[in-house]
Structure 1
Amino acid sequence: MEGVHVKPVVPVLQRAVAHGRRLAEGRSGSPRAVDVLTALGCLGLMALDLPGLAAADNSLSGPVAALVLGAGCATLLVRRRTPWISYLAALLFIGWLHELTLIQFALYSVGRYRGRRAAVLATLAYIAFALLLFYGLPQWPAARAETLSGFLGLFVPIGVLAAAMGIAAYRHDLVGELTDRRAEAAVLRAVEQERTSVARDVHDFVGRELTLLTVRSEVLSMRARSTAYGPDFEELADTARRAHLVLNEIIVQRGGLSSTPGVDGLAALAQESGRAGSPVRLTMDRDAHGLSPLRQAAVYRVVQECLTNAAKHARGQTVDVSIAAQGPQLRIAVRNALAPRAPGRAPVSAGSGTASMAERVRSLGGTLTATRTADGYEVVATLPRG
């Protein structure tokens, strides 16, 4: 159409915005950088129209036209919070400068950040505004040489496609946010389950000692019944029984997982991993057997989760498990090479196992790091031995 400044921008818009989003969000993670790239892309497309604008509108010289276009593109910097500013500026550009580039970016932004309903309303209003110009301003360049069908054949696809792309991006963002929320919920559930497991282990190990204390106190109270110490031993036995009852009410009645094995169960765990296709080389200091039951359960839990991850992501690779005393600390190191990526679907993984075993280690005053090395994957945990 003579005098109407429009580029085949829908594909260009798609590529520019998608590339800008990947570039900025993928590398820098900054939404502001995405908006700057979008505004610059729009300005670059409209800058190609500067000679035509100066010829079609005598009120705009080249420098003034550049400033006006720059101001219009600057509205895209606030498109996330107020996309309607870009939309109104784009309508002004259509009526004044006959420029259709900004409206595509504006409709995309409305669909992307305000959803389907807003995008549909904005598109309908844009088409109605264009029809008003077509019928109300005969001097408008598009109205001088084109029929209504040709006019709508240009304006309607531009608006509909730009808005549809924005709506699709909006839905993609919703799906991504829902996926992130589900992943966060899975991690929180794993951490909560690990806390329940720790509590159950506390009940099993502490309850055993409370039972022994109760029995010993009752025996001593019977032996000292005729002495002045008899009531004291009876009170001690009653206190131990009440403590055990409270422990049962807090933990057992809530349900939970069965108690976690200690370091004695590592050999069976290694054999099970070998049968599953991930052989294990286990080296363990004798000092590990002197740890408290809770610390032994933490060691077992770390090794168990590492072997599970190795079975998922490094099947067939040998896993080296080292448990060694280093001064006041016990160091657990699990290493494995990464298996070549096999064709087919990736193994199912919620990504919450590392968080759960880290919670177990932190609850005992230790630390845990999981890093990818040059030749594989390594998990290192330290626990205080005392």
Structure 2
Amino acid sequence: MRTQPLAPAYRRAVALGRRLTGSWTGSPRALDVLTALSCLALMALDLPGLAAADNSLNGPLAAAVLAAGAATLVLRRRLPWLSLAVALLFIGWLHELTLVQFALYSVGRYRGRTAGVLATIGYVLFALLLFAVPGWPLERPGAAGGAESLSSFLSLVVPIGVLASAVGIAAYRQDLVRELDARRAESAVLQAVQQERTAVARDVHDFVGRELTLLTVRSEVLSVRSRETAHAKDFEELADTARRAHLVLNEIIVQRGERAATPGVDGLPALAEESGRAGSPVRLAMDPDVHELSPLRQAAVYRVVQECLTNAAKHARGQTVDVRIAAEGPRLRIAVSNGLSASGTARTPVSAGSGTASMSERVRSLGGTLTTTRTASAYRVEATLPRH
């Protein structure tokens, strides 16, 4: 009867334990300390034998020596060769093979394949040299059993070194792959942001350039009509100014292909219809005042809605997407929300990838903000822009 009240407390305790474990094991230094302690715990199993085999070591002194050797693993990322040197000393002095496994793994993990192979070869050669020393190990068979003893020795020494080093090299390669993936993702985000900036610049060129062209034509017409008046020269100067401004605009914003300007809010119904055909129906609500926005702001609205619908189709297929565009005083608010699929509640509907980065860049370029909110049942993207 008391188990029900304890269940929530138990779940909270487990969650707290996981958070603490995650924060602890997520630190590289903490992982090094845990590795050193694990190695020391394994070597501590040999304490009685070490004290008995070597009269120079009693129990406490043997523990101190092993602790000092395991402590070198704390520096394994910067000085893996130090751990290997101490491990080889332990092999010759104490016949201890535990530390060398950790050391070879560390060399392969943090210095790569070449260093790992060289460390393994050096370890095997060092062990063979020790085996040739009279009296090592303490108990040696007679001459008749020498070949068999060497074979048994190598069957223990070589697999230990090769396996530890191979695991370390494999982990090193995985680290390289993860780093490469992270850099690729970062490069994709930066490229998306740059592309969006290029798109914004092209939109500025298209929209502003069109207005400057109209201004030039209108000024020339007025100049002709007022040729016999005192204002003719003023209209001619105005037309020249508009032409120079258009030329400067063309020089600053280099032509970037034949891509057409981003559609405005008039393109949203077609975008919603396309999303519905792709399996994500859209409920679109838009204030009439939105049509009075400048072309650049309309392009930003279209871009935000387009990216949200794309992400919803990828991560919440079949869920209805609510799109609300409202003019609230001096601000324009864009709200897009969709439910989470039953099979993908653990996935983020709008990823933190290049598409979201470019969408945010578009909003920020116009002085707006963009936020995302995830709940247990829905995902919401909200952007605000100044209307003027």
Same fold (TM over 0.5): yes
Displacement of 1:287 after TM fit?
2.2
- Give the equivalent residue in structure 2 for 1:100: 97
CA distance in 1: counterparts of 2:366 and 2:260, whole angstroms: 19
238 and 126 in structure 1: CA distance in 2 versus 1, 3 angstrom threshold: same
- Give the equivalent residue in structure 1 for 2:14: none
- Give the equivalent residue in structure 2 for 1:60: 57
| Equivalent runs, 1:155-174 vs 2, <5 Å | 155-174=157-176
- Give the equivalent residue in structure 2 for 1:35: 32
Worse-superposed segment, 179-188 or 299-308 = 179-188
CA distance in 1: counterparts of 2:317 and 2:53, whole angstroms: 69
Matched, 1:323 2:320: no
Instruction: Please give the per-residue CA displacement for 1:180-199, whole angstroms capped at 9, x wherever unaligned.
Output: 11111111111111111111
Matched, 1:299 2:296: no
CA distance in 2: counterparts of 1:292 and 1:325, whole angstroms: 13
How many residues get paired?
A: 360
- Give the equivalent residue in structure 1 for 2:200: 198
- Give the equivalent residue in structure 2 for 1:244: 246
Worse-superposed segment, 302-311 or 143-152 = 143-152
Displacement of 1:157 after TM fit?
0.4
Q: 1:227 is matched by which residue type in structure 2?
A: T
**Contact 2:69–2:83 (CA<8 Å) still a contact in 1?**
yes
Displacement of 1:155 after TM fit?
0.4
**Contact 2:275–2:282 (CA<8 Å) still a contact in 1?**
yes
Instruction: Please give the per-residue CA displacement for 1:166-210, whole angstroms capped at 9, x wherever unaligned.
Output: 111111111111111111111111111111111111111101110
CA distance in 1: counterparts of 2:225 and 2:39, whole angstroms: 94
CA distance in 2: counterparts of 1:356 and 1:225, whole angstroms: 50
**Contact 1:333–1:378 (CA<8 Å) still a contact in 2?**
yes
- Give the equivalent residue in structure 2 for 1:127: 124
Q: 1:164 is matched by which residue type in structure 2?
A: A
271 and 27 in structure 1: CA distance in 2 versus 1, 3 angstrom threshold: farther
CA distance in 1: counterparts of 2:152 and 2:133, whole angstroms: 17
| Equivalent runs, 1:341-360 vs 2, <5 Å | 341=343, 351-360=353-362
- Give the equivalent residue in structure 2 for 1:115: 112
CA distance in 2: counterparts of 1:139 and 1:313, whole angstroms: 65
Q: 2:77 is matched by which residue type in structure 1?
A: R
150 and 257 in structure 1: CA distance in 2 versus 1, 3 angstrom threshold: same
Q: 2:202 is matched by which residue type in structure 1?
A: R
28 and 334 in structure 1: CA distance in 2 versus 1, 3 angstrom threshold: farther
Structure 1 runs, 4 residues or longer, greater than 6 Å off:
23-27
**Equivalent residue of 1:253, what SS?**
coil
Segments of structure 1 that go 5 or more residues without pairing to the other structure are: 1-22
Displacement of 1:377 after TM fit?
1.3
CA distance in 1: counterparts of 2:94 and 2:54, whole angstroms: 7
- Give the equivalent residue in structure 2 for 1:178: 180
- Give the equivalent residue in structure 2 for 1:188: 190
- Give the equivalent residue in structure 1 for 2:335: 333
CA distance in 2: counterparts of 1:74 and 1:382, whole angstroms: 55
RMSD over aligned CA atoms reads 2.1
Q: 1:71 is matched by which residue type in structure 2?
A: A
- Give the equivalent residue in structure 2 for 1:138: 135
**Contact 1:79–1:86 (CA<8 Å) still a contact in 2?**
yes
Worse-superposed segment, 244-253 or 363-372 = 244-253
Segments of structure 2 that go 5 or more residues without pairing to the other structure are: 1-19, 143-147
Worse-superposed segment, 141-150 or 376-385 = 141-150
122 and 24 in structure 1: CA distance in 2 versus 1, 3 angstrom threshold: farther
132 and 244 in structure 1: CA distance in 2 versus 1, 3 angstrom threshold: same
**Equivalent residue of 1:267, what SS?**
helix
CA distance in 1: counterparts of 2:363 and 2:337, whole angstroms: 18
212 and 171 in structure 1: CA distance in 2 versus 1, 3 angstrom threshold: same
CA distance in 2: counterparts of 1:137 and 1:266, whole angstroms: 87
Q: 2:272 is matched by which residue type in structure 1?
A: A
CA distance in 2: counterparts of 1:181 and 1:128, whole angstroms: 40
Percent identity between the aligned chains?
76
